[in-house]
């Protein structure tokens, strides 16, 4: 891409990022929260690794990937160390050996075997990393994640980990639902985090990863601390469901 292309691309990313930050600020105002409480994760799963430069240049410092095949190309970028990397997709136990040495956060822990394998690989690679339990609050059969009542058992097992620290919960609202239905899902995860934190005495269980391009303002109003923004930040290069 030529120099002019980089300038145009950067300007477009800057405008979209500003729009996202403005929407974050508005949602925080409505909820009586500070914008600094919200971490914007740019979901880069469908863009070329050349997008990393302009995204970093405009201030994006957290990136989310959901497939190792694409992520490994992005992680070859020479400026990868300037960002925090989040794995946000479904993670098969056998793929943990690729994800653990390359990501800082794993948002999709949904079973004891996966939890144990992440810890084993973290020991192997001498990594300290953070995790979130994925919870299927909506009960959709097509969604990954543990049922809410099982989250406690998984968290109790997580407290035995030495290198993996589980710091929160993650969920997704169903696509195409009303604002109230989406809000109910986010509120459910927020309530679950509070209950588990109180019951298990986990002061470190502070993160709520919920909300994407279409619904993150609602998620922020219900307590989100991490939002996963794809299409609204990446533009036309992004496919649906971001």
pLDDT tens for each residue of 204-240: 999 999 999 999 999 999 999 999 999 999 987 554 4
Nearest-5° Cα angle at 114, 47 to 219: 55
241 within domain boundaries = no
198 within domain boundaries = yes
- In sequence order, what are the residues at sequence separation of 6 or more whose Cβ sits closer than 8 angstroms to the Cβ of residue 224? 38, 186, 208, 209, 210, 211, 216
The range of the structural domain enclosing residue 55 comes to 3-230
CATH number at residue 158: 3.20.20.10
237 within domain boundaries = no
128 within domain boundaries = yes
239 within domain boundaries = no
- In sequence order, what are the residues at sequence separation of 6 or more whose Cβ sits closer than 8 angstroms to the Cβ of residue 37? 28, 225
| pTM beyond 0.85, yes or no | yes
42 within domain boundaries = yes
DSSP-assigned letters across all residues of 62-109: EEEES-HHHHHHHTTSTTGGGSEEEE-S---GGGHHHHTTT-SEEEEE
pLDDT tens for each residue of 117-151: 999 999 999 999 999 999 999 998 888 999 999 99
151 within domain boundaries = yes
> How many domains does the chain fold into?
1
């Amino acid at each position: 891409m030529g120099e002019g292309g980089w300038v145009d691309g950067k300007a477009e990313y800057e405008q979209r990022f500003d729009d996202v930050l403005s929407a974050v600020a508005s949602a925080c105002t409505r909820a009586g929260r500070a914008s600094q409480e919200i971490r914007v994760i740019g979901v880069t799963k469908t863009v070329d690794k050349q997008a990393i430069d302009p995204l970093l240049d405009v201030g994006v410092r957290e990136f989310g990937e959901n497939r190792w095949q694409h992520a490994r190309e992005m992680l070859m970028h020479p400026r990868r160390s300037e960002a925090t990397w989040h794995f946000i997709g479904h993670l098969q136990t056998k793929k943990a050996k690729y994800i653990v040495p390359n990501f800082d956060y794993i948002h999709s822990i949904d079973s004891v075997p996966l939890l144990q394998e992440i810890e084993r690989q973290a020991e192997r690679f001498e990594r300290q990393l953070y995790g979130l339990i994925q919870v299927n609050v909506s009960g959709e059969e097509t969604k990954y994640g543990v049922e809410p009542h099982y989250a406690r058992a998984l968290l109790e097992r997580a407290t035995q980990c030495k290198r993996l620290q589980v710091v929160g919960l993650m969920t997704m609202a169903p696509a195409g639902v009303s604002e109230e239905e989406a809000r109910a899902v986010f509120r459910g995860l927020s309530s679950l985090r509070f209950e588990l934190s109180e019951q298990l005495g986990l002061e470190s269980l502070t993160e709520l990863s919920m909300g994407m391009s279409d619904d993150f303002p609602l998620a922020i109003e219900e307590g989100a601390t991490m939002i996963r923004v794809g299409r609204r930040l990446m533009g036309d290069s992004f496919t649906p469901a971001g």
